[in-house]
Amino acid sequence: MTIITERTVLLTGASRGIGTFIARALAKEKATIVGISRSQDKLEQVSAEVRALGGRWIGIPYDISRLEGLPLLVQQITQTAGSIDILINNAGVELYGKFQDYSTNDLQLVLTINLLSAMELCRLVLPTMLRQKRGHIVNVASLAGKKGVPYDSIYSASKAGLLMWGDSLRQELACTGVKVSTICPGYVSQCGMLADTGVPAPILAGTSTPSDVSNAVIRAIKQNQVEVIVNQDVMTVGTTKLLIAMCQLFPLIGDAVYRWIGVPKLNQIRAENQMHAARKLSKKDQKLLQQLSEEYCEQESIFDDLRSGRRSSQHC
């Protein structure tokens, strides 16, 4: 059993969606929560809720897709809050579309935020956990990582990677005192892409709530559960497990079931809705995006210069 009370928890994707529900659930356990998100304003909103529930909150605005800055981020956290006892890799991004229509930037964005940032944060906090002989890594994956989802292939790949990496890591860390749990929600109502695109989940697939997911995270930590599938109810969870097993044994039958319940068609609609929303960007928004892109490229150039300078000094 992993104790949450008075432990320091690093939570990514903390300012919106499922992340806010996880933050509230941790606050009820009287944890110290270090919330990471790009939005300072939204972090401050969560801060008030967490403190009202009895938790301690430290919000740090940071874009975790900037992998090169994560060592400094972890250093800042440990100096402010002490060693990290629990890492919850919750941040995620999902882009629907036909695979051939994705850009290289789309591939890098989804894989970096959903998978590489989680791996890098874990790599950075793990040595301290091993020295302390205690700690817990929680990866919020998805059922899309169990069975690939059409028109959502990059997301499916990133979550499958998260699942398999967590599985491998758990075996490496056996008998070290550091535990690894993976949470696999299906369709989640009220927030995320299901809400953002306005397209309902397939009727027979079942939906869970953000509270269901946050409760599953707390249970997984307290009870050291290896993997938790989150769906509408116990019966739906059981049916989902059977379907996943069948997909492993008979992949084409699994594909046919997905077509029957409408997964490809509904995701195609989500992809079209997402594309139309992107096209509605005003000229002002497009100009802002261009400016941000140029600033990003300029920062990357500075990092390259610094790296080159460091390499040159090493050769001198």
Catalytic residues: 155
Nearest to 94 by CA among 204, 17, 206, 11: 17
Average per-residue pLDDT in the chain? 88
With tokens 């104790």, the residue in question is: 3
Instruction: Note the pLDDT tens digit of each residue in 253-311.
Output: 999 999 999 898 888 888 888 777 776 654 555 555 566 555 555 555 544 554 455 44
C-alpha–C-alpha distance, residues 52 and 54, integer Å: 6
Residue 279 token pair: 């096209």
Find the mean pLDDT for residues 17-33.
96
C-alpha–C-alpha distance, residues 296 and 309, integer Å: 20
Q: What pTM, to 2 d.p., does this model score?
A: 0.85
Nearest to 256 by CA among 272, 243, 241: 243
| Domain spans of the chain, in order of start | 8-280
Nearest to 33 by CA among 76, 72, 73, 87: 87
Which residue would you say has higher pLDDT here, 308 or 64? 64
Contacts of 60 (CB under 8 A, 6+ apart): 34, 35, 36, 43, 73, 76, 77
Residue 177 token pair: 């005192």
C-alpha–C-alpha distance, residues 230 and 82, integer Å: 32
316 has a pLDDT exceeding 80:
no
Determine the pLDDT at residue 207: 87
C-alpha–C-alpha distance, residues 31 and 7, integer Å: 5
Residue 155 token pair: 């997301």
Find the mean pLDDT for residues 154-174.
98
String of DSSP letters for 38-54: S-HHHHHHHHHHHHHTT
Q: Determine the CATH number of domain 8-280.
A: 3.40.50.720
Local confidence band at 25 (pLDDT 50, 70, 90 cut-offs): very high
Instruction: Note the pLDDT tens digit of each residue in 268-284.
Output: 888 888 777 776 654 55
HSE of 281 in the Cβ direction (CA atoms, 13 Å)?
A: 12
The three state secondary structure string of 249-311 is HCHHHHHHHHHHHCHHHHHHHHHHHHHHHHHCCCHHHHHHHHHHHHHHHHHHHHHHHHHHHHH
Residue 283 token pair: 């000229």
Contacts of 292 (CB under 8 A, 6+ apart): none
HSE of 137 in the Cβ direction (CA atoms, 13 Å)?
A: 32
Helix, strand, coil % over all residues of the chain, rounded to 5: 60, 15, 25
Determine the pLDDT at residue 315: 40
